[in-house]
Amino acid sequence: MVSIKDVAKEAGVGLGTVSRVLNNKGAVKESTRLKVERAIEALQYRPNEVARSFKMQQTQSIALIVPTIWHPFFSKFAYHVEWELSELGYKMILCNSQNEAEKEINYISMLEKNKIDGLIAITYSHDIDQYISSHLPIVSIDRHFTEDVVYVTSDNESGGKQAATELMNRGSSQLAYMGSISDIENESMKRRKGFEQHVKAQGASYSILELKEPVQDIEQEVRRFIVDQPEIDGIFAMNDKWAKIIIHVLKSLGRSVPSEVQVIGYDGITASKEDELTISTIQQPIEQMAKEAVKAVLNIILKEEVEASIVLPVSFYNGTTTR
Say if residues 219 and 180 touch (Cβ distance below 8 Å).
no
Instruction: Report the C-alpha gap between 120 and 97 in whole angstroms.
Output: 13
Instruction: Report the C-alpha gap between 313 and 61 in whole angstroms.
Output: 29
What burial class does residue 193 get, using C-beta atoms within 10 Å of its C-beta: 0-12 exposed, 13-18 middle, 19+ buried? middle
User: Around Cβ 171, how many Cβ atoms within 10 Å?
Assistant: 9
User: Around Cβ 288, how many Cβ atoms within 10 Å?
Assistant: 15
| Ordered per-residue pLDDT tens for the chain, 323 residues | 677 788 888 999 887 788 778 777 667 888 888 998 898 889 888 766 445 544 555 788 999 999 999 888 999 999 999 999 998 889 999 999 887 888 888 988 988 888 899 999 999 887 788 888 778 899 999 998 878 899 999 999 999 999 999 999 999 999 999 999 988 889 999 999 999 999 999 999 999 999 999 899 999 999 999 999 999 999 999 999 999 999 999 999 999 999 999 999 999 988 777 788 889 999 999 999 999 999 999 999 888 889 999 999 999 999 854 44
Strand order in the sheet with 91-96: 91-96, 61-66, 118-121, 138-141, 150-154, 309-312
Q: CB within 8 A of 70, min separation 6: which ones?
A: none
Residue among 64, 67, 80 at smallest CA distance from 269: 80
Residue 40 identity (one-letter amino acid):
I
Q: What are phi and psi of 151, to 5 degrees?
A: -135, 150
pLDDT of residue 17: 83
Instruction: Report the C-alpha gap between 322 and 263 in whole angstroms.
Output: 12
pLDDT of residue 322: 41
Q: What is the pTM of this model?
A: 0.80
Beta bridge partners of 315: 283
Say if residues 210 and 236 touch (Cβ distance below 8 Å).
no
Residue among 287, 280, 284, 244 at smallest CA distance from 267: 284
Report which secondary-structure segment, H or E, holds 181: strand 174-181
